[in-house]
Structure 1
């Protein structure tokens, strides 16, 4: 069911711990997919904004350094979407789904939350500090209206909530 028009938009962050440096042969296919996947996101229905440098992606953005562990580093993807449905439709379809299915080749498995969603006022873009706070909150408190996931998301603050809504079964990770 589509959401009513709201004065809020959906922020999402996901992070990944690299198995090797971005310029390594091991990550070559991932790096090659960045530009086409980002172009698809930019053109996707409901897409609003994504964090990027002048290179057109966010791989050079420094964030989540506290979460790197013994990995080759952490990369961050921070975007804003019109709705949960718009994000889910993009994330779990087409080329993005294909790339997502190969993530274990490039990124370490993470037992704790590596993605978080939250509502921001329409037209406002979140910072990496905001994203770090939301991931930490989700890890400590589980899904709440302040930080949640696609599997158990909450409506915007200006809409009534009876608790979290379950995500669609086709929005589950392919790998």
Structure 2
């Protein structure tokens, strides 16, 4: 059975190691959000670095998730002190589970505060696509799909919750009924 991949990418207003209260708030909320999401029905896995906390996203060992990559439009730093991004890559059993996890609970509360932490851009900040069972997506896959979404809009290759597709490539109108889905 195919699995849904969800890749998110955002440019932070401040570098990751900024000691300011807003950056600390983002970091402090992240651990609880990841824990809650990992308990959500339909959640399978997410990219986690083997050497977590020993550098920027670019320096970490992501194992089977591949080398960390960013979209072409990311123009901030890549080193400690200048890196200003947050990204996730996760696997789900189905679209509904991912949608529910993103738009309820602690994650929904964080979404309501996203503009405190993240820059507003004209670029999409997430993308979904389907992979066969057993396939682990890479960071580069996420970047490629997000850039495809930006250039071509939602399609079976790369889509949003609002304009989703089933694993066989047909439009899935169910999530579009959810109010407030970007």
| Pairwise CA RMSD | 2.1
1:74 aligned to which of 71, 85, 92: 85
1:37-116 paired onto structure 2 within 5 Å:
37-54=33-50, 60-62=56-58, 63-64=69-70, 66-69=72-75, 73-116=84-127
Q: Label 1:45 to 1:55 Cα distance change in 2 as closer, same or farther (>3 A).
A: farther
Tell me the TM-score normalised to structure 2 length.
Answer: 0.81
Contact 2:16-2:84 at 8 Å conserved across structures: no
Structure 1 unaligned regions, length at least 5: 1-6
CA contact (8 A) 2:13 2:119 kept: yes
Residues 16 and 108, structure 1, Cα contact 8 Å, conserved in 2:
yes
Task: Tell me by how many angstroms 1:167 deviates.
Answer: 2.1
1:21 match: 15
Superimposed CA distance per residue, residues 128-175 of structure 1 (whole angstroms, 9 cap, x where no aligned partner):
110111011111111110000000100012xx72x35252324526xx
8 A contact 1:17–1:73 mirrored in 2: yes
Distance 2:71 2:148 in 1: 17
Deviation beyond 4 Å, 4+ runs, structure 1: none
Would you say how many aligned residue pairs link Structure 1 and Structure 2? 163
Q: Does 1:149 align with 2:160?
A: yes
